[in-house]
Chain A
Amino acid sequence: RIRPIRLIGLCASLITFLYSPVPRIQFDSSTAKSQFVESLRWLPYENINFYLGIDGISLFFVILTTFLIPICISVGWSGMRSYGKEYITAFLIREFLMIAVFRMLDLLLFYVFPESVPIPMFIIIGVWGSRQRKIKAAYQFFLYTLLGSLFMLLAILLILFQTGTTDLQISLTTEFSERRQIFLWIASFASFAVKVPMVPVHIWLPEAHVEAPTAGSVILAGIPLKFGTHGFLRFSIPMFPEATLCSTPFIYTLSAIAIIYTSLTTSRQIDLKKIIAYSSVAHMNLVTIGMFSPNIQGIGGSILPMLSHGLVPSALFLCVGVLYDRHKTRLVRYYGGLVSTMPNLSTIFFSFTLANMSSPGTSSFIGEFLILVGAFQRNSLVATLAALGMILGAAYSLWLYNRVVSGNLKPDFLHKFSDSNGREVSIFIPFLVGVVRMGVHPKVFPD
């Protein structure tokens, strides 16, 4: 009885995915303006519109989103015995919300959509989560994001008060006084910093990842983590240039601390998912460093890792999901010598481990390199610290890989010896293609 439902869900998401590159073809790369604008009068008396559009940056995030959703649905293919209908619904709603987030051109939507994305996520963690702590994790996740976005709401109201409209493109051209800029910047920073996540407020992410089901982790690592950096790129940096300039040292310090700190923390984790979650915190903080480097390499470079980060940790979470399905544990110490029983999965795992430590030929390399180029011109010490994260990154990635895959098999703990089946391999292949394609030929942007 569950079969037609999930088939419908898969088909719907697949059609969306196949449709999503269409704007790419019709895309007019000569202008930097938003295209395919859809506008709906929503709250006419306050001059607030439901206003969506697409430009060069958001296009690829939309494609990324539509790419991940069918994968998430097929990941839960056999797992969703209970609440199958709700599972599909939750994911499709999320897809809608996330695409809307990347396309929004209205300030109020900047509040509405990112804040409504955690709701289905909350449900996903709460219902299909794996352990007892899931309720706590779900609450934590929800509260953190909500707390940040309250400040965002204040900021939006203030902008509305000054400009009289919430149209993003109008607001972008508005000049704010310096003090107001700083205030607005801090308010928006509070919201985005939670989503990135920057260091003192990062704790929700590993918790949420650990408790979420595989598909939930995949989508969480893939898309909502980009909201923060996407917000910086869309909102804070162009709208408040002076404040951005003032706050760059602050961001740099925070991000550099975050990179070192989370990399070190990663190397002490024992849960497979937590390791990947912490490493993705480190990567996202590298992105913020690049984003606040006031040159073309930094900003251009920071978009590439955002895209590649949509692929790499997601794929790693999928690997962990495959392992978890087999062995029902995620603790590193129970694993070992998997290569002799599951060679295919080990190969796949290895390629994504390489991508995670940004080895050349994979998607993350070129972006991180550009970020470091950009950051070095601004501040060489920060670039040094960020590059130090590279060593640590290699250390923990390899440590993880070596522990799980090589060495002697531990037959006491691992009972089932079956390699990844056809469905799983076919899920991984698009990830691999994407990672290598972006790593070898990263020219993906029209602008």
Chain B
Amino acid sequence: MAAVKALNPKAEVARAQAALAVNISAARGLQDVLRSNLGPKGTMKMLVSGAGDIKLTKDGNVLLHEMQIQHPTASLIAKVATAQDDITGDGTTSNVLIIGELLKQADLYISEGLHPRIIAEGFEAAKDKALEVLEEVKVTKEMDRETLINVARTSLRTKVHAELADLLTEAVVDAVLAIKKPNEPIDLYMVEIMEMRHKTESDTQLIRGLVLDHGARHPDMKKRVEDAYILTCNVSLEYEKTEVNSGFFYKSADEREKLVKAERKFIEERVQKIIALKNKVCADNGKGFVVINQKGEEKYTYIEKCGNPRSVTLLIKGPNKHTLTQIKDAVRDGLRAVKNAIEDGSVIAGAGAFEVAVADALVKHKPKVKGRAQLGVQAFADALLIIPKVLAQNSGYDPQETLVKLQTEFKESGQLIGVELSTGVYL
């Protein structure tokens, strides 16, 4: 039968319908795991390993990576989520949900005899139309701080609790604005994210400067310096081996001592030069101040109040490792969201509004598609609606009812309508 069994007798083989069923069930399995994550009212997942390691997350990508996925199709979907994360930085949960739903809808038609290839054609056509709708519906506007705050807040509120999200929102937006250079793509590496164990997370802050994760080398070093000059050098002040293969042979303890002294002298001369430079330069005024902070093993050096900070640091504080990781993940996603907003220059309404609009447009567009591929378009449209449905469900409202309300409102007003999660009423 299958040649693969010759290579691996334990391989499981499925064909045609069975294979398709296997793939679809994998996708739906993943969908079930992740659906409760979606949106600010989604459930946070706490993963406790057998050994007691705790991870707190709502990020779809993180969850998928923590799980041990053995099914090859599920593994593939997880890779899609990773790609989504690499390119956009967020939206992995939505991604997995849509994939699951696309397959589920397709399954309905396939079980009636429709060939998968035709559905795929329908999907392609629907995708093109959906992109067109996106272009029409998006709002191009000036990315002022207010707008960016909204974008960031949306992302952050799905990852940490509301108060913390609001605190982080400002920090995140200011961080990106601080490093943004005109006419150049935003380099998020310029935003350093440092973690610090602290009693509460509400002291997380943006530092316009750097926080280095090492401290004083010598107990006599000053703990606080203002108006400091900072020397960055790429010359080593340590004993190093030679570039060329060399050896030192000595016959007596004296000769060895001489080597040691010579090595020391070489380094001392370097240090003297640095001291001379310092004396020359620090006669005048400088900028910035340096503070050194130490707690247990973790030592920090703050370099703040720099004249023109080209890079900033987001100092994340939290009581334990899993909180720190949770906040760090959220901040990363928030930064990506803000960056994307600035670079795209446009936003759209959230809360499932876009999906409702596209679904409607696709249904209208259907007749223009030839043949049975129309069914594929329908499937695509229905699949997208999973987003507003799940959002409603996670907030505790009836998904069908909410969806019907949304679609009616949209038809009547022509404006984008999304799910208002606190009240279930549409906005």
A binds B: no
